[in-house]
Amino acid sequence: MADDEYQQELDSNDARADFENVLQGMLDKANAGESFSAIIPAVKEEVIDSSQEETRKFPVTPTKSSRKRKRKEEGKDDKQKSNSFIMKLFDRSIDLAAFNEDTPLYPICRAWMNNDPSGKKTPLRPKKGSDEEANSNSEDEDASGNVTEIPTPNVRWNNIDINGKYISPRVPATMPHSTDRINDYFVSHVSPPPPETLLINHIRRWRAIRERWTQKSCENDARYEDGMVILRDMFNRQLYGNSESQ
């Protein structure tokens, strides 16, 4: 610390001496009868020469402002680390502090797949495939190879029927009920079926309804087959890429 103060005092003394020499030179030239306009260029040359000489003598050292800036950046990094909220789900982790309440689920899933909550890993470059795969994926990938869009469904679904009613692509059509009512048996004076028969009929009906729901779900999933292929490729590439890097 004492050495730094001593060096600064030497620099200040040298600067004062140079300034006094310049002023003395101006005074001598003025006494010799030279005009002020002729003195100024000579003074500028002397000042430039003296500054260059000082630069050669003393190398430039980092100032206090650069140290403060570096200290401020380090403090900013520490603050970012303290504000992180890392959650581990299965064998992967994600920093939830990087997202807000309005963030879509897709980028959050991608960050969880990357398994890089600290942000230190470098993104893996996709392997070069055939020209056909490159052409097919060029519309959905950016320059870095990241998928930015998922294709639309293969088969377009009309959500409104001819009567103007909304139809969900996941819900099957309503299965018609039996026309038999318990009151009909009493009106016609016919004995109703036994409970065992009613139970069997109900089981058959709900089994058919469950099969309809399963079939409708498979049909709806088939509409997104192209998008599912891209998602499976992304998952396998990320999974096997991380295993190879480890």
H or E element, residue 6: helix 2-31
The verdict on residue 85 lying in a domain is: yes
Which tokens is 65 given? 């402002």
The verdict on residue 203 lying in a domain is: no
The verdict on residue 177 lying in a domain is: no
Same domain, 18 and 55: yes
Per-residue tens of pLDDT for the chain, all 246 residues: 566 666 777 777 777 777 777 777 777 766 666 555 555 555 555 555 555 555 555 454 555 566 666 666 665 555 555 678 888 888 888 898 888 888 888 888 888 888 888 877 665 554 554 444 445 554 555 556 677 788 888 887 777 777 778 888 888 888 887 777 777 777 777 787 888 988 998 999 999 999 999 999 998 888 888 888 988 888 888 888 766 655
The verdict on residue 212 lying in a domain is: no
* Strand ranges, E, within the chain: 86-89, 92-95
The distance from CA 114 to its chain's CA centroid, rounded to whole angstroms, is 11
Query: What is the residue range of 102's domain?
Result: 66-114
Say what the pTM is.
0.37
pLDDT value at residue 38: 56
Same domain, 44 and 93: no
pLDDT value at residue 134: 46
* Strand ranges, E, within 44-143: 86-89, 92-95
Domain boundary among the residues 61, 77, 99 is at: 61
The verdict on residue 153 lying in a domain is: no
Which tokens is 85 given? 């909220």
The verdict on residue 73 lying in a domain is: yes
What's the angle, vertex CA 38, arms to CA 33 and CA 41, rounded to 5? 140
**How many domains does the chain contain in total?**
2
d(CA 232, CA 240): 12
pLDDT value at residue 41: 57
Same domain, 57 and 6: yes
Which tokens is 54 given? 């000082």
